[in-house]
Structure 1
Amino acid sequence: MPDTAQGSAARLFPSAATTSGGVGIELDHVTKTYPGQPVSAVEDFSMRIEPGELVMFVGPSGCGKTTTMKMVNRIIEPTSGSIRIDGQDVLHLSPDQLRRHIGYVIQQIGLFPHMTIADNIAVVPRLLGWSKKRTAERVEELLRTVQLDPGVFAKRYPRQLSGGQQQRAGVARALAADPPVMLMDEPFGATDPITRERLQAEFLRLQAEIGKTIIFVTHDFDEAVRLGDRIAVLGERSRIEQFDTPDAILAAPANDYVASFIGSGAALKRLALVPVSRAALLPADAVARPRIAATRSLRDALDQLIATGSDALDVVDGAGTDGAVIGRIGQAEISAALRGRRAETVTP
């Protein structure tokens, strides 16, 4: 097998040889019980995650969501049940080899303070026996991918980076061996709101390019809505209260517990998921109005309507505002789109 990221992962997960994205994950009746504890930390948990899917685990502290995620790479060993990645039971694999082929990002980032950023990213490729040339190329590639200039950041130490820059370096390290699976444990939780929003946007951009299979733990439902393909709302002992798309959960919470996570403003949250292009637009006319791209969300459109005081916006084909006007949208069209259509996720 050639000395490549894909070749390394394919030794463990064969499907990684034919795709640059992720592989499927199946958890089948997984339980975790600790000695001396009368109640299981995780009880009879079953779920299938599709290749390339980003699944959010959301729930209160202590519900078992992080424990469930950590059993996937065997940082915590399950008491019973099976966990399969690309059809292989992880309990039959070497724990060290398994972890080297699963990216792992935590809230505390976990960069080695005595190593440069380049050396931090190179840790797993070196453990896998990559050549110096291939490792150096991969480090430079990943720094550019997470928008850290290699000429500026490669030789710096973690203490010389801001919190947001350290998080990006942590994501780069998790991606170093091009793992088909990534586990992310509240990776943006320790950052300020502005930095967190920027990191979320960068992460969505990155996932659109790499298409990994990702389990992402968060206690922030708004973050789950913004990032996830599907959301698992977890109760005590990781009991799945609802597992569905963000739009489906916002439109029809399964019970009061799920509704409590959504909180107020469910309709506004759904607006952020629906692109303007999904609305039934009014015909274009000769009147000059503020413009909005068809790829922006209905929430963006409503915000612009309120800010400008206009009765409608001209909708422009494409992602910018210089394209051809394809129709008009006002508050009535926004409301109708929300009531009558299922949402498509908008990627910023």
Structure 2
Amino acid sequence: MPDITTNTGVLTSLASQQGGVDIVLDRITKQYPGQSTPAVEDFSMRIEPGELVMFVGPSGCGKTTTMKMINRIIEPSSGSIRINGDDVLSLDGNELRRHIGYVIQQIGLFPHFTIAENIAVVPKLLGWSKARTAARVEELLNTVQLDPGIFADRYPRQLSGGQQQRVGVARALAADPPVMLMDEPFGATDPITREKLQAEFLRLQADIGKTIIFVTHDFEEAIRMGDRIAVLSERSRIEQFDTPARILANPANEYVRSFIGEGAALKRLALIPVSGATVGSPDSAAPAATIDEETSLREALDLLVLTGAPRINVTRGGAIVGSIDQAAISAALGATAPARRAEGE
């Protein structure tokens, strides 16, 4: 293990980094004393700047352990971790964690702090002025769609679970970190709240472009949110690391297929917008219900089934521009099936 220094130059670089950074894990291993097998063994991965990578796998496979080694909540036994080319194992762990956002399922808000005080924790540790901190708190509350005038002075117990999760995300973003680690952040919420939080976070990520590692046990969540998905088995062995579309179309082995489960084609349809299909002419006999061209083909298929109509009209900006039927949806599914990547690509 390298000698630990503060290395303020690297930390300053991280703090000032706009958008995301690349993360390289090279042969990371975690061996706990008294255990015969490692929790994580010889794990290597490169994550591109601004990429949202999902870790999915069964309980005990080491996905959370792997993620926590990046900000050194857990110290690796061997291997190297580099962020933007800098070795994080040479940094002071406490200082490092102040420059990496971290969101957990249990949220971890301080119950006796107001919402504003919870969000301000890291900026205060970094020595921000009161004015700068207050402005950042207000900005972030607006970003996660919580009115500062209503929520800033409330306490966590006065918020719903979904609202507390939004505050947890805001707190992780407070110091504008280039890296965010998210450990099943929406797992404790009900399905409707979870879907809303996922949509809000994807909207937010489109604007902020952070490099994000997101741990989940929910493959549907991984498909919906990830730029790439790492399907992990025991000791964080990577069974497949690829885009959602490629994994659904070409699972690497039976283990990956077991994660996909039934309905792979329907799951793939959720990744393809209506504009990805060949749209026919507007149909005057189609039902009043329409589908926007940016909506998924899965939703278009649902609408066709619900209405029982042979075709539904497609809109762009509210204006009808064409129509679509089940044959067009099936053709789009076949046309977008990606070829299997070459080994090592």
Q: Does 1:310 align with 2:309?
A: yes
Q: Distance in 2 between matches of 1:291 and 1:222?
A: 26
- Distance change (3 Å), C-alpha of 1:257 and 1:292: same
Q: Distance in 2 between matches of 1:10 and 1:342?
A: 46
Contact (CA 8 Å) 1:13, 1:85: kept in 2 or not? no
Please give the secondary structure, in 2, of the residue aligned with 1:292. Answer: strand
- Correspondence for 1:3: none
The one-letter amino acid of 1:206's match is L
Q: What's the RMSD between the two structures over aligned residues? A: 1.6
1:123-166 deviations in Å (ceiling 9; x for gaps): 00000000000000000000010011101110011111111110
- Correspondence for 2:236: 238
Q: Distance in 1 between matches of 2:222 and 2:9?
A: 30
The one-letter amino acid of 1:244's match is D
TM-score under structure 1 normalisation?
0.92
Please give the secondary structure, in 2, of the residue aligned with 1:164. Answer: helix
Moved beyond 6 Å, runs of 4+: none
Q: Identify the match of residue 329 of structure 1 among 324, 329, 334.
A: 324
Q: Identify the match of residue 83 of structure 2 among 85, 91, 96.
A: 85
- Correspondence for 1:291: 290
Deviation at 1:326, TM superposition (A): 2.6
Contact (CA 8 Å) 2:283, 2:311: kept in 1 or not? no
- Correspondence for 1:118: 116
Deviation at 1:307, TM superposition (A): 1.2
Matches within 5 A, 1:40-51: 40-51=38-49
Deviation at 1:286, TM superposition (A): 4.9
Deviation at 1:291, TM superposition (A): 1.9
Deviation at 1:38, TM superposition (A): 1.1
- Correspondence for 1:159: 157
Unaligned ranges ≥5, structure 1: 1-8, 344-348
Structure 1 window deviating more from structure 2 (66-75 vs 283-292): it is 283-292
Q: Distance in 2 between matches of 1:250 and 1:341?
A: 11
Deviation at 1:306, TM superposition (A): 1.1
Contact (CA 8 Å) 2:88, 2:96: kept in 1 or not? yes
- Correspondence for 2:105: 107
Q: Distance in 2 between matches of 1:158 and 1:114?
A: 8
- Correspondence for 2:55: 57
1:262-295 deviations in Å (ceiling 9; x for gaps): 1111111111000000101223355554321110
- Correspondence for 2:252: 254
Deviation at 1:328, TM superposition (A): 1.6
Deviation at 1:13, TM superposition (A): 6.2
Q: Distance in 2 between matches of 1:313 and 1:16?
A: 50
* Paired-residue identity, %: 74
Contact (CA 8 Å) 1:305, 1:311: kept in 2 or not? yes
Contact (CA 8 Å) 1:14, 1:86: kept in 2 or not? no
The one-letter amino acid of 2:301's match is L
Matches within 5 A, 1:175-194: 175-194=173-192
Structure 1 window deviating more from structure 2 (203-212 vs 294-303): it is 203-212
Q: Distance in 1 between matches of 2:237 and 2:17?
A: 34
The one-letter amino acid of 2:175's match is A
Q: Distance in 2 between matches of 1:316 and 1:136?
A: 43
Deviation at 1:308, TM superposition (A): 1.3
- Distance change (3 Å), C-alpha of 1:288 and 1:304: closer
Matches within 5 A, 1:66-77: 66-77=64-75
